[in-house]
Chain A
Amino acid sequence: MTGSPTLRLCGCARLRFCALLLVALSAGVAGADDLTEPDVAIEAGKEALSEQWDLPWYDDQSDDFAPVNLPKPKKRSKPWPIWDWFDGLFSGFGWNFGDVLIFLLWIVVAGLLLWLIVAMIRAYQETEQVAAATAAEEFDAKAHLQRVEALPVTLAEKVDNYLQAARDAYDSGDLSKAIVYLFSHELLELDRAARLRLVKGKTNRQYLSELRRGVGPSPRLADILARTVRLFEAAFFGAHPPTREAFEDCWQEATEFERLLAVEEATA
């Protein structure tokens, strides 16, 4: 029982001794870093400088300044006195000719960039225009096909321009075919101008009625179409080809038909 307190005291004493030793050691270390000591400060300065790896003006080997590199003087040969003259031109602005040249180069680069942007915009516009034109053509072709399908007559051959086809048939003397083409042309044009609606199954009288009493009635266009209808029905259903005079009358009116349609389309 008497031994244990003694042992505890010894333990405490040991601990105290260790603590004192640590303090003494740390004090010794702190003493080594005492920057008021000249030699310590010199070493500390050297160490601090050496730790900066990117100081071009310091040489840590010699612990002294290192000469830095400078741009070498430009040696100009005598044949280039004009260079000095250029330098003199801009010296008033605090620039030399090289600065001006670099400035001009930047302007050229900026110009090129601007040109590139404008070219890109133009290319984009052209692409859009081509795409829109193609889409419009496709739409027109599709609408044209729908109209042709809605015509009261079904033609064996494919026709792109019915007016031209009518003229060709007239020139070749086939007046029955010519009046069919002319009638088809007039119907197609009226539908395209939204003067009537081509629908499979509608009668010619319905078309005429639509033209006379529809939205925005056109009596004169209806008269022209009526004359063509009469010749067309006689030729197509009655197998009575129109006379050359009768067809030519219709043909003459076709010109007026086009004009009227164009005027009404423009004022619509």
Chain B
Amino acid sequence: MLLLAAVLLSVGCREKGIRTEYGTRTGYGARSVNGTTVLGQMFEDAGHRVRSWRLMSPSLAKADVIVYFPSESQPLSTDAVAWLDDWLRYSYDDDTYELQEKTLIVVGRAYSAEEFYWRETQPRAPAGLKTEYAAKLRKAQLDGPLGSGTGGKGTVGDWYDLTAPGTTSKVTTLTGPWSIGVDASKAAIEQSGTVFPNKSLDVLLADGAGHPLVSELIYSEDDEWSSDGSSVLVIENGSFLLNASVVNHEHRKLAGRVVDYAGAPEKDVVFLESDASPTISDTDPNQNPPTGFELFRIWPIGAVLAQAAALGIVFALAQFPIFGVPRRLERPALTDFSKHVTALSRLLSATRDRAFASGLVRKYFTERRQ
């Protein structure tokens, strides 16, 4: 037990520090500096209903706003783009059959708030941990914006082109309508020239060199069947939207703009938590309590059940072979006189003649006495 405790203790020690999971709003990743919990909370506080989803399924199609932080810097799959384009253009209200306006917010992956956190906390590092803080910063800088991932390049629908992240640089000047009231010198927005919006998109925010940081595309009515007013917001990266980024006041102003972009309150805002190739499904996963074998796939019930099953298999194996000397079946007693009486009475009853039977018995006893 002591050994086990020591092992658990040593494992627990590794929890010190910060979590860095990217783009998650719930679960363990909610505490991550790269999470989207705070942005989701801002949406909620603005009066929207917020939830997270992992599939492109009917449940996601019901959303009014999809906030998509792909977990890898790869072009979205063709199927995913087609699904989103279809959702933006041809979403109908189930009751009124009227076209609905949808909003898609896509945020590029080429940023990690880990370096930002360690850089900001260097001056406040506890005494005795300054070296560790410096080492953490160095490691975050070495890992770069994608951590252990690699960046791909390609075209994402009619929206933007994606390239592998170049050298990351701090944005010192902001231009565009969204730059009003934002002091770039106090912000820590970064860009690595990864997302290049299509020329048809309107730039809402750009750096001093004109590289778009936030762009929008408002869909116009192509035909009578398509939506007029759906929009796509393409954001270079999450350097002003991720959990740790929102600590900066200038970033909050831009995050507020993004939340405001969703429109009037009570929208169904869904954070799509997936890689660049989300699974597309015609049905939603079953939300009912899992039964049978499905329970094995749920942590920690699965772990407990697996051990119970293993114990059950061991027990079954222990029962299966015949261990030890086989038992002997008891032989029928040959000296039990009552069996003779029973057999005789069965024979007599087979005659179905009570008088005959009793007469025979009487005769037996009479002759025996003589």
Contacts and interface: CB of A to CB of B under 8 A. Distances in A.
Do these two chains interact? yes
Interface of A: 30, 33-38, 40-42, 44-49, 51-52, 54-58, 63-73, 98, 102, 105-106, 108-109, 117, 121, 124-125, 128-133, 135-136, 139, 142-143, 146, 149-150, 197-200
Interface residues of B, number: 64
B129 interface: yes
A238 B198 CA distance: 129
A225 to B, nearest CB: 19
A12 B19 CA distance: 60
B170 interface: no
A46 B249 CA distance: 9
Interface in B152-194: 181-182
A150 B304 CA distance: 60
Contact of B45 (A30, A47, A66, A132): A47
Interface in B301-336: 314, 318, 323-328, 330-331, 333-335
Q: Is the interface of A mostly helix, strand, loop or mixed?
A: helix
Interface string B89-122: 0000000000000000000000000000100110
B38 A129 contact: no
A45 B136 contact: no
Given A52-B38, A102-B10, A199-B334, A45 B327 contact: no
A67 B251 CA distance: 20
Given A49-B38, A109-B3, 8 more contacts: A38-B181, A51-B45, A56-B18, A57-B18, A67-B124, A70-B132, A146-B333, A197-B334
B141 to A, nearest CB: 17
B46 A44 contact: yes
Contacts of A58: 244, 247
B17 interface: yes
Interface string B1-14: 00110110011011
B211 interface: no
Contacts of B38: 45, 48-49, 52
Closest 5 pairs (CB-CB, A-B): A41-B256, A45-B252, A129-B324, A35-B256, A48-B41
Given A38-B253, A52-B37, A56-B18, A45 B42 contact: yes
B323 A149 contact: no
A132 B16 contact: no
Contacts of B121: 57, 65-68
Contacts of A130: 324
A46 B247 CA distance: 7
B323 A129 contact: yes
Contacts of A51: 41, 45
B317 to A, nearest CB: 8
A56 B28 CA distance: 13
Contact of B6 (A44, A63, A105): A105
A64 B247 contact: yes
A73 B131 contact: yes
Contacts of A49: 38, 41, 246-247
Contacts of B120: 65
Contact of A35 (B41, B244, B259, B323): B259
A221 B168 CA distance: 106
B344 to A, nearest CB: 16
Contacts of A146: 333-335
Interface in B186-245: 243-244
Nearest to B310: A117
B79 to A, nearest CB: 34
A71 B181 CA distance: 41
Contacts of B126: 67, 69
Nearest to B256: A41
B129 A109 contact: no
Contacts of B131: 73
Given A52-B37, A70-B132, A41 B252 contact: yes
A136 B328 contact: yes
Contacts of B328: 135-136, 139
25 contacts: A34-B260, A35-B260, A41-B254, A45-B42, A45-B256, A46-B252, A47-B45, A48-B39, A48-B246, A52-B38, A57-B33, A57-B117, A58-B244, A65-B120, A67-B125, A67-B129, A67-B133, A109-B4, A117-B314, A124-B323, A132-B324, A133-B324, A136-B328, A198-B334, A199-B334
